[in-house]
Chain A
Amino acid sequence: MAYDKFNILTSTAVPLPLENVDTDQIIPARFLKATKREGFGDNLFRDWRYNNDGSPKKDFILNNPIYSGKILVGGKNFGSGSSREHAAWAVYDYGFRCVVSSFFADIFRNNCLNVGVLPVQVSAEFSEQIFNAIYDDPNTEIEINLPEQTITILSTGAKESFDINSYKKDNMLNGFDDIDYLQSMKSDIESFANGLLL
């Protein structure tokens, strides 16, 4: 699926300092019944965001107009649990282009990279600095520089570099996905398959 290219993103950020945020919270299973990739952002964090009657829960961060932006800053072990790519779609569809955490669950991280959301893993200390900076001033901007692989808190100048493998980095910079690559090597795949026992 095509997604927007990612280069340098400068934005305010939304803090969600809870640990072990699982994909059932990011999007509950009962909202996985679509057969198209549309509208998942409306149900992002559905049960934390809305009461049963559909009214917004005032104390949830996404309902607080003070915080907004294209970056979601989560706590440790973000995205654990189910492999549902719908969780990454919901994050993207809501308008986030980057999720920052001190630790990501594997499948969620992979899914993000496949749908155009950049997962940026930072140290626990830097994660704390980001939360503090946002709480001090919700208008604090964060710069995510993919070519340089750095994340900077612009108000304090604090900066850290992050890892991403060069293949995935190239994909994100150009808006490519893995299917483009795999299609280009189909004859290699077919000769490999021909050599298999089962």
Chain B
Amino acid sequence: MSKTLFDKVWDSHVVRKIEGGPDVFFIDRHFIHEVTSPVAFLGLKSRGLSVLYPERTFATADHNTPTINQHLPVEDPLSANQLKALEDNSNEYGISHWGLGHQKNGIVHVVGPENGITFPGATIVCGDSHTSTHGAFGAIAFGIGTSEVEMVLSTQCIMQPKPKKMRINVNGNLSKGVTPKDVALYIISQLTTSGATGYFVEYAGDVFENMTMEGRMTVCNLSIEMGARGGMIAPDETTFAYLKGKPLSLKGDAWDKAVAYWKTLKTDADATFDKELTFNASDIEPMITYGTNPGMGMGISKHIPNAEAVEGGVATYKKSLEYMGYHEDDAMIGKPVDYVFLGSCTNGRIEDFRAFASIVKGRKKADNVTAWLVPGSHEVEALIKEEGILDIITKAGFELRQPGCSACLAMNDDKVPAGKYAVSTSNRNFEGRQGPGSRTLLASPLVAAAAAVTGVVTDPRDLL
């Protein structure tokens, strides 16, 4: 029978099918971090259970870590306590731990791929909804809750009903200044934040085939923002080239054997999906959000839609605009910006810093803007220095911080103050996400750079 890419990977990981219930689903790789794992370990202890396959779990500290002075003790006692718990639990159960200060430390969804932990055809989970990132490699990767973290630690399995399947095709060529982030924000704006709930997405078509792995990760990362559990892209030569030679990638014959198998991981020509959508690359322009969920986005040159023109409740829509301090019909170009955040598991990779640098080069940071430039990992940080990007951004008046999730969810001190506007390359513009009362405009690294040097929302195409 014909199968989709998703079917092939899913079906090969089902240990048992329960009649009228979920599948018992085997997990190849499990990432843990300091925020969603402590209670899972407590659960293990209270039941007297061990970790079944510690070599399949990888711990990294990222969510609440500071992005300056990482060599000093963490000041916030609650954060310090969580970081200590991650370290202690990892040590106790024999799990590899890349804590604060470790050269491999960074955002879980950045360090996993760059170390070759992620691979095609794998099943990957983490107590973090942006685990969908790893789908870029043709893996089934999704976020889970803490109870499920405990299940994976103790049995390497979770119990999941198989989601429905959706394919999203984007064909044609992207215009100048349009990045993978814009593609994702465009799709989410078309589907709404719940448009893919219940589905697992496969991205297909020219645009994704021509994308780098960094770009594919950005797109798959944002799958959850349209409600999908995850999204994936069939592995190809771009995927294999990225993974080859990574520290934990297979070597020699084992590598060749794996690649031969990975090449079979594509949707069969006559396989069917529960839903299929097709978009044209030429319809996509640089995107920006104006509301309080990632579906409230539009082309940067457009005006904020009227409540009557959008799907969903008028009251919810108006509450959202009121929170943002915006009005129907407002243009976004020229809106004031107080903060710019470049980073996160969505856009904290080397390519994002290259894009940012391409605009700020030879320009100056606007005086009214506070900018936080936060690499996704020490490896990204090292490349920023090696490629001369640090020189460019320093000359333009920016500083580089240290790796972590940072202002994406503001668990550390990187908080946008109440009422202030932040153009952010992260993934969520929910109320208070970047700090109580903060107002977030989601956008690409190019749009963030354009805002950082002009101090207002600016079309990056004018500066390229």
Residues of A within 8 A of B (CB): 1, 17-20, 22, 24-25, 28-30, 32-37, 47, 52, 75-77, 80-86, 88, 103-107, 110-111, 114-115, 165-168, 177-179, 181-183, 185-186, 188-190, 192-193, 196-198
Check if B159 sits within 8 Å of A18, measured CB to CB: no
13 residue pairs A–B, Cβ–Cβ below 8 Å: A33-B411, A34-B78, A35-B81, A35-B82, A76-B313, A80-B194, A83-B143, A85-B39, A179-B47, A179-B151, A189-B15, A192-B15, A198-B28
Other CB < 8 Å A-B pairs besides A20-B194, A33-B81, 20 of them? A1-B147, A28-B432, A29-B63, A30-B436, A32-B411, A34-B38, A35-B82, A37-B39, A77-B227, A80-B293, A105-B227, A110-B145, A166-B19, A166-B21, A167-B20, A179-B150, A182-B157, A183-B49, A186-B52, A197-B261
How many whole Å from B255's CB to the nearest CB in chain A? 11
B274 to chain A, nearest CB (A): 15
B336 at the interface (CB under 8 A from A): no
* B: interface residue count bin: 35 or more
A18, A181, A196 interface centre (most CB from chain B within 10 Å): A181
Bound-complex Cα distance A34 to B81 (A): 8
Report the bound CA distance from A48 to B78 in whole Å: 23
Q: Could you tell me which residues of chain B, from 65 to 112, have a CB within 8 Å of some CB in chain A? A: 76, 78-79, 81-82, 85
Question: Measured between C-beta atoms, what is the minimum distance from A23 to chain B in Å?
Answer: 9
A24, A37, A190: the one within 8 Å of B430 (CB): A24
Partner of B428, one of A35, A81, A85, A192: A81
Q: Assess A198 versus B258: contact at CB under 8 Å? Given A80-B293, A85-B147, A165-B161.
A: yes
Query: In the complex the two chains form, what is the Cα distance from A35 to B81 in whole Å?
Result: 8
Q: For the complex of A and B, list the 5 residue pairs with the smallest distance between their C-beta atoms, beginning with the closest.
A: A167-B21, A85-B145, A83-B143, A33-B78, A114-B147
B365 within 8 A of A: no
> Do A47 and B431 have beta carbons less than 8 Å apart?
yes
| Alpha-carbon distance A115/B146, docked complex (angstroms) | 10
Please name all residues of chain A whose beta carbon is closer than 8 Å to the beta carbon of B145 when the two chains form the complex: 83-85, 88, 107, 110-111, 114
Name the one of B26, B38, B257, B315 contacting A18, with C-beta atoms under 8 angstroms. Answer: B315
On chain B, the residues within 8 Å of A105 by CB distance are 194, 197, 227
Residues of B within 8 A of A (CB): 15-16, 18-22, 24, 26, 28, 35-36, 38-39, 42-43, 47, 49, 52-53, 63-64, 76, 78-79, 81-82, 85, 119, 122, 127-129, 143-148, 150-151, 154-161, 163, 193-194, 197-198, 224, 227, 229, 250, 257-258, 261, 293, 312-313, 315-316, 319, 409-411, 418, 428, 430-433, 436-437
Q: Point out the residues of chain B lying under 8 angstroms from A22, CB to CB.
A: 293, 428, 430
Question: Residue B24 contacts which of A20, A29, A35, A182 (CB distance < 8 angstroms)?
Answer: A182
Evaluate contact between A36 and B21: CB separation under 8 angstroms: no
Closest CB-CB distance, A91 to chain B, in whole Å? 13
By beta carbon, the residue of chain B nearest A166 is B20
| Cα–Cα, bound, A32→B22 (Å) | 29
Q: Is the CB of B156 within 8 A of A193?
A: yes
